Amino acid sequence: MGVVSDTMVRAECDSSMARTEGTAVIEAALWGAIATSSLVIGAEVAFRVNMSRMLLGLIMAFGVGALIASVSFELIQPAMESSGTRRVALGLAAGALVFFIGDRLIERLGSTNLPDVADQGLGEGRSNLGIVLGTILDGVPESAVLGMSLVAGGEVSAALLVGIWISNLPESMTATIGMRDAGWSNGRIRVTWSSIVVASVAAAAIGFLVVDNNSTVTGAFVQAFAAGALLTMIADELAPEAFERSSLHAGLATTAGFALAAFLTDLD
């Protein structure tokens, strides 16, 4: 009788844990959807509003500042407090290398297999699909980071969420303008961005599951890994383009974004 009772208790515990994990996966997926919803919103704004190059650059610079603050206060600082510098350094290096290698692979794929369309308003000779691939490279890893952060910290940082949301907005706007100039229909553009959101939702859920089911990956390493990936993305993708579009005004917008994210961090 005691054996049966113990078995029933264990079964109930396993069931409860499964429900808890399932709820957490759904939560991670939801946060991924929220973070990348700005891709769809940015496209809709681009359909209806003509935005200047300067304004797009300022929005992008604002996102840079918000992301730098969230990386500093929500990822690196907790990682340093809970673990030694060696583990944090390893995580930073791993995250930076993964993003760098992935970025180069997709850039090579886009430039090798796709035709140039420099005359179609996309700038720098990039193809429509190349722009989409670049957006996927930004959005999917960032969503995975959000999912991982649920394991590391138990909840999603508002500062990190705002930083990712804002940084996606101008990228979607500029790419949408380029795709329309290249002859893409609004419906096709909407399907493209919606597909990226779906992929990002899956990445957020997978990011949670991979870390949650791998006891060898600690919270500090995950936080540092995420920080390394995001910092590399900021330096390679966001900051240079923000400065190119808004010139000297980028510094002020970046500082404003940093200040807002720091304030949100204090509220978390």
Residue 11 lies in a domain: no
How many CB atoms lie under 10 A from the CB of residue 77? 14
Question: What is the extent of the structural domain holding 88?
Answer: 23-267
Residue 8 lies in a domain: no
Number of domains into which the chain is organized: 1
pLDDT of residue 236: 82
Q: What pTM was estimated for this model as a whole?
A: 0.67
Tokens, residue 191: 């399907």
Query: Which residue from 250, 227, 242 is spatially nearest to 68, judged by alpha carbons?
Result: 227
Q: Which residues of the chain have pLDDT under 70?
A: 1-21, 106-107, 109-139, 141-142, 149-155, 157, 211-219, 267-268
Residue 167 lies in a domain: yes
Residue 14 lies in a domain: no
The Cα 95–Cα 211 span in angstroms is 14
pLDDT of residue 113: 47
Phi, psi of 90 (to 5 degrees): -65, -40
Instruction: Write the CB contacts of 97 (distance below 8 Å, at least 6 apart in sequence).
Output: 228
170: left (phi over 0), alpha (psi -120 to 50) or beta: alpha
pLDDT in tens, 11-51: 444 444 444 667 778 888 888 888 889 889 999 998 998 87
Residue 3 lies in a domain: no
C-beta separation of 158 from 267 below 8 A: yes
Residue 133 lies in a domain: yes
Tokens, residue 171: 């990228």
pLDDT of residue 255: 94
pLDDT of residue 178: 73
How many CB atoms lie under 10 A from the CB of residue 54? 13
Tell me the CA end-to-end span of the chain in Å, nearest whole number: 49
C-beta separation of 204 from 145 below 8 A: no
Residue 9 lies in a domain: no
Instruction: Write the CB contacts of 11 (distance below 8 Å, at least 6 apart in sequence).
Output: none
pLDDT of residue 4: 47
Query: Which residue from 150, 174, 166 is spatially nearest to 27, judged by alpha carbons?
Result: 150
Residue 5 lies in a domain: no
